Amino acid sequence: MSDTLDTMTSWLSSQEMATARERLPIVYVDAIPVRTDSQGAVTEVGLLLRAMPDGTISRAVVSGRILHGERVRDALLRHIEKDLGAMALPQVPPSPQPFTVVEYFPDPTVTGFVDPRQHAVSLAFIVPIAGDCAPSQDALDLVWVTPEEASTVEFQGEMSGGQGRLVRMGLAHCGLLP
């Protein structure tokens, strides 16, 4: 028997996923891509531009489901490669630790983090990126901004579902809020 885990057989059909979303919280990872200087200080924050299910355009962090049988680290790497490209070179430690846990609900009054499809629990990470990025899959663009720019009210307004608040929480975790 092979020790290799085949996560591709763990995908649910559309109907099975809809049924699961009605009954269970779905586990996600959120990754805030950052560039760091030689001392490890965050110098830039990478944010995607995405077309949202409701037809709007929004800035977003890297995000996606953890598959059944998939390690958190592997889910982070898979979603970063999917959104930022194979040459992003994320610096994910062997045993990553989230800086926070976020609960998304269809009802925006519960936590302020919103996913209209489901109740989702997301482990949120700051991930240094060492390579070249090219937005891929459903990402329309990637912009690198300073931590100061990312924390402005104007820039926060370009993010939906509470992700602007998540970026501010990540910057606070890094000691970078103005």
Q: Which two tokens stand for residue 50?
A: 């995405």
pLDDT at 6: 47
The two tokens of residue 145 are 């901004």
24-173: which CATH number, 3.40.50.2300, 3.40.50.1370, 3.90.79.10, 3.30.230.10?
A: 3.90.79.10
Q: What phi and psi values does residue 64 have, to the nearest 5 degrees?
A: 180, 165
Instruction: Evaluate whether 67 touches 76 at the Cβ level (below 8 Å).
Output: no
* pLDDT of amino acid 9: 55
> Can you give the pLDDT at residue 2?
44
Domain locations in the chain as residue ranges:
24-173
Give me the residues paired with residue 59 across strands: 49, 159
CB atoms within 10 A of CB 131: 12
Residue 168 CB: number of other CB atoms within 10 A? 17
Q: Are strands 120-128 and 26-36 parallel, antiparallel or unpaired?
A: parallel
Calpha distance 70→50 (Å, rounded): 25
pTM of the model: 0.87
pLDDT at 18: 79
Coil vs helix vs strand at 80:
helix
- Give the closest residue to 130 by CA, choosing from 91, 83, 86: 91
Q: Which pLDDT score is estimated for 5? A: 46
CA angle 143, 145, 149 (to 5 degrees): 130
Name the DSSP class of 10.
G
Q: What pLDDT shows up at residue 161?
A: 92
Cα(30)–Cα(170) distance, integer angstroms: 11
3-class secondary-structure state, position 22: helix
Give residue 20's pLDDT. 77
pLDDT tens digits, the chain, 178 residues: what are they? 444 544 455 567 888 877 877 888 999 999 999 999 999 999 999 999 988 767 888 999 999 999 989 999 999 999 999 999 999 999 999 999 999 999 999 999 999 999 998 999 999 999 999 999 998 877 889 999 999 999 999 988 999 999 999 999 999 999 998 6
40: region left, alpha or beta (phi > 0 left; psi from -120 to 50 alpha): left
